[in-house]
Amino acid sequence: MSAATLSPAEIIHRTADYVRAEFSRDSSGHDWWHIYRVWQVAQAICAREGGDPFVVQLAALLHDLDDYKLVHNPDGVPRRALAWMAQMNLDAATTAHVRDIITGLSFKGAHVSDEMPTLEGKIVQDADRLDAIGAIGIARAFAYGGHKGRLLYNPDDSPTLHTDYARFSQNQSHTINHFYEKLLLLRDRIKTDTARQIANQRHAFMEQFLAQFYKEWDGRDLDLAK
Ligand code: ADP
Ligand code: NI
């Protein structure tokens, strides 16, 4: 069957198969299961908030295909996603919409704007961010730090609230700093009400985790007499 005659459901199915194969070898926290969770959560948010489920699903599935941490992509053009959409014979408007979502998605630093003009963009961005916080977000952060050979924590190295993407993305510090430089800032950048409810719970869990982490670091839980 030629791609010109594919139904939207078939395009989503083929896109999921393609992306699953592309991500099957990654261990930096950018694995297929991250894409899968973002895809599922984005669909659930879309069912509550509205928006075009086809655009939401395509953007969720394709959102990390051209990530700078996976492929060399200095100009930010999502070439692999665009090539795939061309292969699926998607119309120009849908292609441009999905491209804009993918390129606008990322958190770029504490003081850098990340507005998403369309509802579909807000939904996919929220779903991606929900996966960066809570228990899974914690696991992903330490997996990423391990992949990069970073320390868990160093009390002598405090966090930086970045004002530009270049410095944020080149940051080499320990993983606990990543909580202050990104993860704890995400809740206030969530755009849809549905995602905000989930984000509140996941944010509270990260705060509990950090409180316990410092308690153990300082040995305060060892002092049984107090
Ligand atoms: P996003 O998909 O929100 O743009 P990234 O692609 O930047 O997120 O990062 C993917 C995962 O790796 C996220 O869970 C993120 O929190 C984690 N990560 C990114 N940079 C760091 C870092 N410097 N230290 C720890 N974890 C990181
Ligand atoms: Ni992602």
Kindly give the interhelix angle for 79-87 and 53-62, rounded to the nearest 10 degrees: 130
CA distances from residue 135 to 34, 132, 159, 209 in whole angstroms, order as listed: 13, 9, 21, 9
| pLDDT computed for residue 171 by the predictor | 81
CA 179 to ligand 2 center in whole angstroms? 17
Report pTM. 0.92
Among the listed residues 62, 68, 208, the one whose alpha carbon sits nearest the alpha carbon of residue 133: 208
Give the mutation target among 68, 173, 182 for probing the ligand 1 site: most ligand atoms within 8 A of CB.
182
pLDDT along the chain (226 residues), means of 10: 78 97 72 95 98 98 84 82 97 96 84 88 97 97 93 91 82 92 96 98 98 95 72
Place of tokens 């993305």: 169
